[in-house]
């Protein structure tokens, strides 16, 4: 299942905290699209995923928005 987390206009560490808070509601294998305007999320979210066993599938940047696609791990 695909989910979206809108973290636009939130500054570090809020996009990561929002992901951490919501990821517990999802199942392993689900995909989450995190939409952010904070450039630091392209580094912070992959680092958080490595520590917590989730997989970054793709990072896309278009103008001032960053979209990070994460697969929920076990």
DSSP 49: H
DSSP 1: -
Is 49 an annotated catalytic residue?
no
Cβ–Cβ < 8 Å for 7, 35: yes
Please pick, among 10, 12, 14, 35, the residue that the annotation labels catalytic.
Answer: 12
Residue 66 CA to residue 39 CA, distance in Å, equals 7
As annotated, the active-site residues are: 12
């Amino acid at each position: 299942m695909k989910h979206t987390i809108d973290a636009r206009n939130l500054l570090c560490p809020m996009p990561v905290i929002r992901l951490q808070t919501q990821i517990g509601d999802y199942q392993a294998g689900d995909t989450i699209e995190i939409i952010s305007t904070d450039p630091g999320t392209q580094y912070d979210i992959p680092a958080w995923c490595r520590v917590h066993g989730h997989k970054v599938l793709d990072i896309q940047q278009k103008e001032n928005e960053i979209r990070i696609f994460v697969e929920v791990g076990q």
